[in-house]
């Protein structure tokens, strides 16, 4: 009889788990691996800081990682019935589907919390926010080029990163290099410091 292994969540944990399952059951007949995610791609969250400086490929289709031995279903998990070994899925078109499983592994990740809007800045949480940061920095560089006041140029070319975890450190390093490149191309020198319109990152 066919055995269905269902992995919910296509983040780093889900990807690595599916890869491990493929190796573990390689060549075995009757084992079906299914990956479920609400998107058709894996978002490289740990590289969001790159998108804050340049247009980086952060969304990678699951088809890039797996061949046709892995079934990928684009849907959102809406319920689990452990006694019946069923999960309820909601597809993008709103249709609901029940799916049987033999083993179920939930790799749903953590919940991202953004800073309150009144605090200012931009929380680096997804591709939209990384794009907003990049566009803001590019606008600041353009404004600094047109400004005749040294204090205003210094303010526009200064960035504050809130959060000293791994991502915060990487973000700060990437922003320093990226902002210097943009400022040099515009004929201005980047400065370190704080400014009201800061780029914020939790963690």
75 closest CA partner among 98, 53, 55: 98
Which of 104 and 68 is assigned the larger pLDDT? 104
| Residues 98/87, Cβ–Cβ less than 8 Å | yes
122: three-class secondary structure by DSSP: strand
Predicted local distance difference test score (pLDDT) of residue 186: 64
Give me Rg for the CA atoms of the chain: 22
30: left (phi over 0), alpha (psi -120 to 50) or beta: left
Helix 127-146 and helix 166-186, axial crossing angle in degrees, nearest 10: 30
The answer to whether residues 99 and 177 touch, using CB atoms and an 8 Å cutoff, is: no
**What does the alpha-carbon distance between residue 114 and residue 131 come to, in Å, rounded to a whole number?**
16
For position 163, what pLDDT does the model report?
Answer: 86
85-98 pLDDT, tens per residue? 999 999 999 999 99
Query: Which pLDDT value is given to residue 190?
Result: 46
* 36 pLDDT more than 90: yes
Query: Which two three-digit tokens encode residue 175?
Result: 């922003």
Q: How confident is the model at residue 117 (pLDDT cuts 50, 70, 90)?
A: confident
Residue with tokens 């490149």: 181
**In the prediction, which pLDDT does 185 show?**
74
Instruction: Give the mean pLDDT of the chain.
Output: 86
pLDDT higher than threshold 70 for residue 198 = no
Q: Give the pLDDT confidence of 56-92 residue by residue, as tens digits.
A: 889 999 999 998 889 999 999 999 999 999 999 999 9
pLDDT number for residue 187:
63
Task: Give the pLDDT score at 101.
Answer: 97
pLDDT digits (tens, 9 = 90+) for 154-172: 898 888 898 888 888 988 9
Q: What is the structure's pLDDT at 197? A: 41
3-state DSSP assignment of residue 89 = strand
pLDDT on residue 29:
86
More confident residue, 55 or 188: 55
DSSP E strands, 84-182: 86-90, 96-100, 103-106, 122-123, 161-162
Instruction: Quote the pTM value.
Output: 0.74
d(CA 114, CA 200): 9
User: 74-83, 116-125, 129-138: lowest mean pLDDT where?
Assistant: 116-125
């Amino acid at each position: 009889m066919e055995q269905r292994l269902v992995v919910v969540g296509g983040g780093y944990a889900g990807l690595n788990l599916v890869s491990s399952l493929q190796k573990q059951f390689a060549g075995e007949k009757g084992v079906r691996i299914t990956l479920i995610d609400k998107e058709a791609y894996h978002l490289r969250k740990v590289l969001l800081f790159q998108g804050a400086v340049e247009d980086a490929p952060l969304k990678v289709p699951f088809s890039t990682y797996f061949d046709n031995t892995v079934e990928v279903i684009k849907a959102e998990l809406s319920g689990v019935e452990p006694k019946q070994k069923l999960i309820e899925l909601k597809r993008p078109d709103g249709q609901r589907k029940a799916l049987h499983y033999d083993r179920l592994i939930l790799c749903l990740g953590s919940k991202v919390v953004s800073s309150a809007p009144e605090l200012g800045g931009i929380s680096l949480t997804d591709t939209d926010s990384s794009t907003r940061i990049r566009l803001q920095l590019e606008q600041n560089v353009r404004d600094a080029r047109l400004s005749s006041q040294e204090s205003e140029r210094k303010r526009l070319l200064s960035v504050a990163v809130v959060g000293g975890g791994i991502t915060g450190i990487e973000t700060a390093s990437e922003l320093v290099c990226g902002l210097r490149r943009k400022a040099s191309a515009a004929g201005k020198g980047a400065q370190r410091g704080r400014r009201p319109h800061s780029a914020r990152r939790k963690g």
